[in-house]
A and B are shown apart, each in its own frame.
Chain A
Amino acid sequence: MRSPGFDARSSIYGDIVQRRYQAQNYLYFGLLLIGLLLSTMSRRIEPLCTVLPLACALVCSRLVRPRPVLHLDVAITPTQVFEGDPITVRVHLRAETDIPPMEFWHPLPPEAMCTAGATRHLITLGHGEEKTLEHQVTFVRRGEYPLGRLYTRIHPNVGLQPLLAEHLCEQTCRIYPQTLPLNRLMPPWHTHISFGHYVARAAGEGVEFAGIRPYNGGDRIRRIHWPTSLKRQQLYVNEYHREHNADVILLLDTLMAAGHPHRGTTLDIAVRAAASLASYYLRQKDRVGLVSYGGVCTWVQPSSGQQQWYRILDALLTTRTHFSYHSKDITLIPPRVLPPGALIFVLTSLLDRRIETALNDLVARAFQLVMVGISPVHAMGSRHFEGESRLWRLETEANLHQFRSLGVPIILQDTANPLMHLHAALTRRQLWRREKWL
């Protein structure tokens, strides 16, 4: 996903300039007074001469008042990317006057990294000179981030009173969650008649060739298989396999998340998994929906197609944890959001036990559940990863034993790829056997 980009032009430098005082001023002034004091006390001229250049620098910095004029054009391309994709920031500088040594920098959000070029430059420009600076920024975490707030600090003369200017050419960059490749087929159990990639045994509307049969009244003329009809002297028509698709719901646990606020949390890993699954099943022409289950319950109604993909991505972009002591009742989610027989992927960190109540309810309603447990140990980047990870696994296995005994596949992930063992779990047919009383 790549957007066309953004161009911005800042105002003339002289209008928004601020004269700032460096800490060096106070140090110089302090040394000047000490030199004066030493000179007076010792009745020697040398200490005063020693601090004389500092006095000259202070005087010069206050007497020289340049008025530099600078134009900035900022181009940010693209403004919509996936995590890890580079965004190019190109700054074109044009000086109308001589610009003394100027520090130019582009502060980045903590989630961003400069992967090429530099965000800080020390440059000088002559009258009418133009220069283009370029750097690439990569975001490690999904979200909406403003880029394009630039600062310039001109150091006229000795640089004790630099001229600071802020150039607001901000543009919001939308960083969508990274999608992981899922190439192997993971078919759902329950499908229904619609256009899709699943082929039924029964013949019907579709594009997959099934065979030929004698013509019946009402059959379409365009379906007549002419070579066979001519050979047998009787009309035959083509038969096609009926197409099916499925309803896939991605249930995100937003009750609680653990991890680093800038590098990523368990929710970010779960969001990546949700984006990957949505991408995969939408490519299979399935209807995909999203439910964020937390303090605030939000959802995207199941649908198929490219538009739904963007709807889900936009919803995932703003997914946050909403902690609340009041847990929502999952039965309140309308049936059009949780269609009967839907395949539900539950993406949870299992940090809040209230998710188990919701899962019990879903199991009781005979949904096809797949639970993906995201390890908080991995997200927090613990030093004692091995031991803590094993403890987490043991504890989670004990907590989820009842679901496993009911045939719900449970995948516990303690790697960066939350869908690593998904295919193996989905193809183990014995796990899908359900108790008769359900």
Chain B
Amino acid sequence: MATGKMALTIWLGLTSALWALHPLFLTQARGIQLLAILTGLLAVWGWLGGSAVLMFWSALTGLLNATLALLLSAHPPNLWAGLSAGLLLFALLDGHQRWVYVRHCELEPGMFIRMLEPFIRVSTLAIVVGFAMGMLLIALDALPLQATHVGTLTIVGAALFAGVFTLFILHTNRLSSD
């Protein structure tokens, strides 16, 4: 049990640090550094205090920081950079949720491995979906379209994605409450 708790602590500490430092791999501007520190502080505070809201704020700040870093550095589009940040974010949020349980419950032997399984499953799925998305973007880039059309297509696609996903979530919620 103590080993499991220690392993989860190391895991959370590592993901918090990596998540906060991720934008600094792209650029080391002063503003990005400050935001990275803020992200890290919020993550550690939320993790130690068991607060999901603080973890959300850390995730939000980190996401904004990463986007700003991408825009500032004019880094070429990179699917894997986004995916690695995404996996880190998921590991941080999911690990925090599990940490809250581990803090209040007595952990049975062999539980730690079982707790890692969902993370591995979702990570694999995210990589597959990300790869499919990348392929789709490459295919779209190959099409002879004007820049304005691409922009419009992106906004329409994003809106469609959000709409469909919202409908899906609402629909499954209704089903599960039956």
Question: Residues of A with Cβ closer than 8 Å to B?
Answer: 19, 21-24, 27-40, 42-60, 62-63, 65, 100-101, 103, 105, 118, 120-124, 157-159, 161
Contact of A53 (CB < 8 Å), options: B115, B123, B155: B123
Q: A47-B82, A53-B126, A103-B105 are in contact. List 7 more A-B contacts (CB 8 A).
A: A34-B60, A35-B63, A42-B67, A48-B82, A62-B172, A101-B114, A124-B110
Once the chains are docked, how many angstroms separate the CA of A34 from the CA of B77?
Answer: 19
CB pair B108 A121 closer than 8 Å: yes
Question: Can you list 19 A-B contacts with CB-CB less than 8 angstroms, sorted by A residue number?
Answer: A27-B56, A35-B63, A36-B158, A45-B79, A46-B85, A49-B133, A50-B83, A50-B85, A54-B89, A54-B93, A57-B122, A60-B118, A60-B122, A62-B176, A100-B114, A122-B101, A122-B111, A124-B111, A158-B118
6 interchain residue pairs of minimum CB distance: A49-B82, A46-B82, A53-B90, A62-B172, A53-B126, A122-B105
Identify which of B89, B110, B125, B158 contacts A60 (C-beta below 8 A): B125
Q: Cβ of A56 and Cβ of B129 under 8 Å apart?
A: yes
Closest-CB distance, B15 to chain A (whole angstroms): 12
Contact B111 A123 (CB under 8 A): yes
By DSSP majority rule, is chain B's interface helix, strand, loop, or mixed?
helix
- Chain A, residue nearest B26 (CB): A46
- Contact between chains at A50 and B121 (CB < 8 Å): no
**Which chain A residues border B173 with CB–CB below 8 Å?**
21, 62
Contact check, A47 vs B66: say whether CB atoms are below 8 A apart. Answer: yes
Q: How far is the CB of A212 from chain B (nearest CB, A)?
A: 72
Interface band, chain B = 35 or more
Write out the residue numbers on chain A whose beta carbons fall within 8 Å of the beta carbon of B93.
24, 27-28, 54
From known contacts A55-B165, A62-B168, A122-B108, infer whether A49 and B86 are also in contact, taking CB-CB under 8 Å.
yes
Using a CB–CB distance below 8 Å, which chain B residues touch chain A? 52-53, 55-56, 59-60, 63-64, 66-67, 70-71, 77-79, 81-83, 85-87, 89-90, 93-94, 97-98, 101-102, 104-108, 110-111, 114-115, 118-119, 121-123, 125-126, 129-130, 133-134, 137, 151, 154-155, 158, 161-162, 165, 168-169, 172-173, 176-177
**In the complex, what residue of chain B is closest to A31 when comparing beta carbons?**
B59
Interchain CB contact under 8 A, A47 and B63? yes
Q: Are B162 and A36 in contact (CB under 8 A)?
A: yes
Q: Are B97 and A50 in contact (CB under 8 A)?
A: no
Across the interface, name the chain B residue whose C-beta is closest to A26: B56
